[in-house]
Amino acid sequence: MSTTIRVSLSLISFAFLLCVSQGAQITFTNNCSYTVWPGTQASATSPQLSSTGFELAPGASKTLDLPPAWSGKFWGRTGCSNNSGVFSCATGDCGNHVECGGAGEAPPSTLIEITVGTNGTQDFYDVSNVDGFNVPSSITPKGGSGACGAATCPTNINSACPAELQFKGSNGTVVGCKSACVAFQKPEYCCNGDHSTPETCPPTNYSKFFSNLCPNAYSYAYDDKRGTFTCSGNPSYDVKFCP
């Protein structure tokens, strides 16, 4: 076999291995007029990312790599401060640390969820207000094949939040909007107990409030037709706060 053929086969093999092992690259951008501290949490079957929490000043961006078959979620924390060495956030707190270290978010928090495929197979992603809302958020694929739509909740739901769902900061301003499940802890809102199927847990007036303002995001647990997005072919992703 000639040297040229061996080199060509080596390049083909390398490209094949790269494709098989490729996950996804994700870039976080803060378009808000205030600082956001994104948090990341892997699912039980996925490794934590190289950063599980960081600061994004207005206009700033940060890129992370997701391994193949990675599944997890992201969210923006707001109103964070470090007082006498204790880091805390008004919304989305994950345990008084800049790095969440595998800990999840305190509701109400707008979630960005993703499951990355392998070898170019389908990715699944969404924006969810199932646990309430705290900051406008979106996730958009770049490249890829298939529908590849933008999952987004660009509206500031806090400004229209019903009084019984309002989550207020220390100064009395509304900094988050709780879901009915978080606010009332009832099966008909949480889709558990006697309401654990799509048939027994239909949309409520509260979930309709969220879906009317953000029709491309989950408003409650069984909002799959509205909330779930897919894309194939190893796209990269843009996550934006205040898109």
Tens of pLDDT, residues 61-93: 999 999 999 999 999 999 999 988 889 999 999
Tokens 């170019």 found at = 120
Note down pLDDT in tens along the chain; length 243 residues.
544 444 443 443 333 333 445 789 999 999 999 999 999 999 999 999 999 999 999 999 999 999 999 999 999 999 999 988 889 999 999 998 999 999 999 999 999 999 999 888 999 999 999 999 999 999 999 999 999 999 999 999 999 999 999 999 989 999 999 999 999 999 999 999 999 999 999 999 999 999 999 999 999 999 998 899 999 999 999 999 999
- Calpha distance 56→32 (Å, rounded): 10
Q: What are phi and psi of 184, to 5 degrees?
A: -115, -20
Structure token digits, residue 160: 């229209």
Tokens 């000639």 found at = 2
Amino acid making up residue 21: S
- pLDDT value at residue 125: 98
- Is this prediction's pTM over 0.75? yes
- Calpha distance 197→174 (Å, rounded): 32
- Calpha distance 239→39 (Å, rounded): 12
Domains by residue range for the chain, with CATH: 20-241 (2.60.110.10)
What Å distances lie between residue 10 and 6, 13, 16, 17, 199, CA to CA? 6, 5, 10, 11, 55
